[in-house]
Structure 1
């Protein structure tokens, strides 16, 4: 035991020493991997991870977040709720300009582009050979139908990134902008007007519907700086 303990401390001490050296200057040229907890609590819930890649000397960076979600693990539904069958895919691309630096904090601003697709599936009776949108129809057919809600958004985003000595990152941000929403039928041979509205507990999904509205974002990332310590 007397020989084991010194060996363990000998291994731990260099690692802790290396971790203790990280600050903004030593970490700004490293890739950072990130996890976003709050999207799990969104109505369109996703498990979301990202990567931040430094550009040039590290004063600029490009961050890409990707997420996937499903109504089966949406925390807003109770067990007795009639859960809609849906899948959520999300992508966020953010260009950062770090305009202020301190030893363990730096502030940034930059544009963000968000794309989100929510795929709804439902079994419906669809009118066929209808003379008009309101009928009459020759017959009704039972079909599995799909509607896609496509969301494009642009935000001006600003935030603060904090770096601990142990290479961990806390990144908090907020932003404002606009988002465009389009809902379309994606069922072969079925037009938008032939699909009945789908109810998603907090909104009505209607094929052929489009909307433009103001948008706000806010959240935080938990991250880890990759690579060996270096100061150049």
Structure 2
């Protein structure tokens, strides 16, 4: 569970060894809803949002001991946060802010997309019962861009949708530093080199 991401999700993944097992690829997929987020529980409003997440990681194991392995490798993250909101949209407007001939109440959809690339370093511990605990951290950057998917309504006419720490406004984009820190729990299903 991505608990410390304000677009938190429930994630499931699989790690597949390549070759002799010194290299592996890990793929995680996740889904979340604003109702999963404890940050909204004490507020008067909760945005209608869904989160879809994909994380692909290539792991190169460079240290191996009896029940511990260390790895390093690149990670690519793609996250799509879909917001839905009912807004009053100005129609037949002259200029960016009016005056407008009339206003129409309409459902709008705004997507905030995130593509991130990290250099990730981690330690994987294996218990005697074949349970794995994977501790990892990484640094990189992320590109965030927001788009509208509301038919017949230009991006300029859609107001930004407020979230806890930001405003999802169509047409907005940004590149920023990124850090990843987490814990994965897993079960070994195949052979394990002891």
TM > 0.5 fold call: yes
Pair 80,215 (structure 1): closer, same or farther in 2 beyond 3 Å: closer
Gaps of 5+ in 2: none
Gaps of 5+ in 1: 1-36
Q: Structure 1 residue 80: deviation in Å?
A: 4.2
**What is the distance in 1 between the residues matched to 2:74 and 2:97?**
44
Pair 150,230 (structure 1): closer, same or farther in 2 beyond 3 Å: closer
Consecutive aligned runs of 4 or more in structure 1 exceeding 4 Å deviation: 229-232
* 8 Å contact from structure 2 (residues 49, 81) kept in 1: yes
Q: Structure 1 residue 81: deviation in Å?
A: 2.7
TM-score, normalised via structure 1 length: 0.80
CA RMSD in angstroms comes to 1.5
Q: Structure 1 residue 138: deviation in Å?
A: 1.6
Q: Which moved more, 1:162-171 or 1:75-84?
A: 75-84
**What is the distance in 2 between the residues matched to 1:150 and 1:140?**
29
Instruction: Count the aligned residue pairs.
Output: 194
Q: Does 2:68 align with 1:105?
A: yes
Q: Does 2:10 align with 1:56?
A: no
Pair 230,87 (structure 1): closer, same or farther in 2 beyond 3 Å: closer
- The aligned residue for residue 218 of structure 1 is 181
* 8 Å contact from structure 1 (residues 41, 75) kept in 2: no
Q: Describe the superposition over 1:45-85 as per-residue Cα deviations: whole angstroms up to 9, x where unpaired.
A: 10011100000000000000010000122111124430000
Q: Does 2:156 align with 1:193?
A: yes
Residue 6 of structure 2, aligned match among 43, 55, 58 = 43
Q: Which moved more, 1:71-80 or 1:177-186?
A: 71-80
- The aligned residue for residue 208 of structure 1 is 171
**What is the distance in 2 between the residues matched to 1:166 and 1:73?**
31
* 8 Å contact from structure 1 (residues 50, 63) kept in 2: yes
- The aligned residue for residue 54 of structure 2 is 91
**What is the distance in 1 between the residues matched to 2:97 and 2:120?**
45
Higher strand residue share:
2
**What is the distance in 1 between the residues matched to 2:48 and 2:144?**
19
**What is the distance in 2 between the residues matched to 1:230 and 1:161?**
13
**What is the distance in 2 between the residues matched to 1:43 and 1:194?**
27
- The aligned residue for residue 88 of structure 2 is 125
3-state DSSP of counterpart to 1:51? strand
Q: Describe the superposition over 1:8-50 as per-residue Cα deviations: whole angstroms up to 9, x where unpaired.
A: xxxxxxxxxxxxxxxxxxxxxxxxxxxxx3x034210100111
Higher helix residue share:
1
- The aligned residue for residue 18 of structure 1 is none
* 8 Å contact from structure 1 (residues 41, 76) kept in 2: no
**What is the distance in 1 between the residues matched to 2:10 and 2:182?**
14
